[in-house]
């Protein structure tokens, strides 16, 4: 093969520059620690790295939202704790107040204390967060949610049912707030299905019960029967008021009996029992209709003590009663003077026990909301763990995609260095060879 002198020089320099170029790139990789210096080095890995970095960023967003959710939920949980304390306190005072030996002054003192509690409750319901937003107003962050509604003269709700959401996971928006209507307002009274109240003395309209019969909150023994009876339009004079019942006692000598009336059309009672039932104190009165068609409502009410002739108790389906209304009616009962008669004390006792049931319902509602918050907090914790794991995985994935394998790079570097040295040395030698040296 014929070789021109130019070729010797060209090939020599080419070998040297090529090796230098490779070394330069390796050196660049080693100094930055990145395997992929530009997308051209590994287009697929570069695209993957971009997508992974977005996942990482979104994961960080979720972590932050989880942090926010946790703070907000924990703050609500704190409010709920105070609320439980407050209601427990109210309950204790109610129990104390129901004690028939209290003097009017004692009852007044309790009423005053409950009034303070009611103010505490209102303040709590109108709690604001650090930014001045109301906690329990739904979406209406700047609207004071609870105030006396001039139309009804009762505590009104001026917020909405909205729940403030946070994106705590790709597919999960978590409410980080509780709407005030759900927590304070929509609480069923009575036993949650129906409510028992003292009725008037049936024989002397406008008069309270004259005996010493005390009622309990009643209980549902068979929900299915109760619901069927409520939905059965055929058995009610006015189906819209299904569930309105009146238990009326009649006392003839030593013999006390009761009759159950359909009270759904006020003032026009319809007897439901084919024959009045016999009553003894402490008896559970089963709510039923024995006239044709006979219907068992699947519920009963226990009446303790001795009713007077014509005394009555009224049953109606539970409706919603806010915590504020419950406390206001407690305070109202406590500030109403009681005469010395036994039956007025009985009436007071019945009033107290009815509202006590409602306090219990309020407590139950708070604990329901609290357990929702609790389970959200647990969810946040577990999402947080997942997100943190995820973050680690994404980091290591990103590192796999982009980062340099130092061992391999250093070994490559050494190899290239050797090649470059060889190319330089051989070029130096070859280029010195010339016939002219010998002429």
Partner 1 sequence: MGSGLYSIGISGMNAAQLGLVTTEHNISNATTPGYNRQRIIQTTNIPIMTGAGAVGQGTSVLTIERLYSKFLAGQVDRAQSGVSEYKAFYNEIAQIDNMLADPNSGLSPALQEFFSAAQQVAANPASISARQSMISTAQTLVARYEGLEGRLSELADGVNGQISVIVDNINSFSRQIAELNQRIVITESSVQQPANDLRDQRDLLISELNKLVRVQVNEERDGSYNVFIGTGQQLVVGTQVQEMKAIASAEDISTIVIGLKAPNGTIVELPEGLISGGEIGGLLRFRSEALNPAFNELGRIAASMALTFNAQHALGQDLLGQATGQGSFQNNFFTISSPVVLANANNTSTADVQAAFVNPPPVKGHYSLNNTAGVYTLTRLADGQQWSGATLAAVQGALPAGEGIDVTGATVAPGNTVRLVNAEAQSANYYTNLTDSDYRLTFVGGNYTLTRLNDNQTWSAASLAALSDLVDNSEGFTLNLASGAFAAGDSFLIQPTRQIARNLGINTNIASDPRLLAAGMPVRSNIGLSNTGNAVVSNVRTLPGYAPAATALPFTLTYAGGNLSGFPVGANVTVTAGGTTTTYSGGTVPYNPASGAKISINGIAFDLSGTPNTGDAFTIERNAGGTADGRNILALGKLQTQKTVAGGTANFQDAYAQLVSDNGNLTRQVEVTGKAQQALYEQANNRREELSGVNLDEEAANLIRYQQAYQAAAKMLEVGTKLFDTILALG
Choosing from 20, 68, 283, 372, the residue that interacts with partner 1 (CB under 8 A) is: 68
Choosing from 25, 30, 53, 335, the residue that interacts with partner 1 (CB under 8 A) is: 53
Choosing from 20, 61, 291, 417, the residue that interacts with partner 1 (CB under 8 A) is: 61
Residue that is written with structure tokens 């708070």 in the block: 366
Question: Helix, strand, coil: what percent of the chain each, to 5?
Answer: 55, 20, 30
Tell me which DSSP letter residue 231 carries: H
Q: Which is nearer to partner 1, 28 or 99 (CB)?
A: 28
CA 111 to chain centre: 32
Distance CA 421, CA 409 (A): 18
**Nearest by Cα to 123 from 82, 158, 154:** 82
- The token pair that represents 295 in the structure block: 């219907």
- From residue 229 to residue 268, what is the string marking binding to partner 1 with x (rule CB under 8 A)? ----------------------------------------
Q: Which stretch binds partner 1 (CB under 8 A): 22-30, 75-83, 153-161, 409-417?
A: 153-161
- In whole angstroms, the minimum distance from the beta carbon of 393 to partner 1 comes to 18
- The token pair that represents 253 in the structure block: 């000598």
Note whether 223 binds partner 1 by CB under 8 A. Answer: no
Work out whether strand 219-220 and strand 295-304 pair parallel, antiparallel, or are unpaired. antiparallel
Q: Which stretch binds partner 1 (CB under 8 A): 117-125, 164-172, 347-355, 413-421?
A: 164-172
- In whole angstroms, the minimum distance from the beta carbon of 271 to partner 1 comes to 26
Q: DSSP E strands: which ranges in 124-164?
A: 146-149, 154-157
Q: Which is nearer to partner 1, 65 or 97 (CB)?
A: 65
Note whether 27 binds partner 1 by CB under 8 A. Answer: no
CA 209 to chain centre: 42
Biggest alpha carbon–alpha carbon distance for the chain: 158
Q: Which stretch binds partner 1 (CB under 8 A): 97-105, 248-256, 314-322, 383-391?
A: 314-322
Note whether 4 binds partner 1 by CB under 8 A. Answer: yes
Q: How many chain residues are in contact with partner 1, going by CB under 8 A?
A: 66
- In whole angstroms, the minimum distance from the beta carbon of 101 to partner 1 comes to 38
- The token pair that represents 255 in the structure block: 């013999």
Note whether 143 binds partner 1 by CB under 8 A. Answer: yes
Distance CA 379, CA 166 (A): 13
Q: Using DSSP, state whether 177 is helix, strand or coil.
A: coil
Q: Using DSSP, state whether 291 is helix, strand or coil.
A: coil
Which spans of this chain sit near partner 1 (rule: CB under 8 A)? 1-7, 14, 36-44, 46-48, 50-51, 53-54, 57-58, 60-61, 64-65, 68, 131, 133, 137-143, 157, 160-167, 170, 173, 177, 181-182, 185-186, 188, 317-320, 322, 434-436, 439
């Amino acid at each position: 093969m014929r070789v021109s002198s130019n070729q010797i020089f060209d090939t020599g320099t080419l070998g040297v520059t090529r090796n230098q170029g490779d070394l330069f790139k390796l050196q660049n990789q080693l100094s930055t620690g990145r395997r992929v210096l530009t997308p051209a080095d590994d287009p697929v890995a570069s695209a993957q790295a971009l997508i992974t970095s977005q996942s990482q960023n979104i994961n960080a967003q979720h972590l932050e939202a989880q942090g926010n959710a946790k703070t907000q939920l924990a703050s609500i949980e704190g409010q709920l704790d105070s609320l439980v304390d407050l209601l427990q306190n109210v309950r204790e005072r109610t129990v104390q107040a129901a004690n028939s030996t209290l003097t009017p002054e004692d009852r007044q003192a309790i009423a005053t204390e409950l009034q303070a509690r009611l103010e505490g409750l209102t303040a709590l319901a109108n709690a604001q967060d650090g930014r001045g937003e109301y906690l329990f107003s739904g979406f209406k962050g700047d609207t004071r949610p609870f105030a006396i509604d001039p139309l009804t003269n009762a505590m009104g709700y001026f917020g909405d049912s909205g729940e403030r959401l946070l994106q705590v996971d790709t597919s999960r928006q978590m409410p980080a707030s509780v709407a005030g209507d759900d927590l304070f307002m929509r609480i069923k009274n009575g036993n949650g299905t129906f409510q028992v109240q003292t009725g008037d003395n049936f024989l002397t309209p406008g008069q309270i019960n004259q005996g010493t019969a005390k009622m309990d909150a009643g209980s549902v023994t068979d929900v299915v029967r109760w619901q069927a009876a409520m939905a059965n339009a055929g058995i009610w004079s006015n189906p819209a008021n299904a569930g309105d019942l009146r238990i009326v006692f009649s006392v003839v000598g030593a013999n006390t009996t009761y009759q159950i009336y359909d009270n759904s059309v006020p003032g026009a009672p319809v007897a439901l029992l084919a024959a009045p039932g016999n009553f003894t104190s402490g008896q559970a009165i089963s709510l039923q209709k024995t006239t044709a068609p006979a219907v068992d409502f699947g519920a009963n009410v226990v009446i303790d003590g001795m009713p007077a002739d014509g005394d009555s108790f009224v049953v109606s389906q539970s409706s919603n009663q806010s915590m504020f209304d419950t406390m206001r009616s407690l305070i109202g009962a406590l500030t109403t003077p009681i005469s010395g008669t036994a039956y007025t004390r009985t009436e007071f006792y019945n009033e107290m026990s009815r509202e006590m049931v409602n306090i219990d319902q309020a407590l139950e509602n708070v604990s329901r909301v609290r357990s929702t918050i609790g389970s959200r907090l647990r969810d946040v914790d577990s999402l947080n763990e997942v997100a943190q794991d995820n973050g680690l995985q994404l980091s290591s994935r990103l590192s796999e995609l982009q980062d340099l394998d130092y061992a391999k790079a250093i070994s490559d570097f050494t190899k290239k260095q050797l090649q470059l040295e060889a190319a330089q040395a051989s070029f130096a030698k070859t280029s010195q060879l010339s016939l002219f040296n010998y002429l």
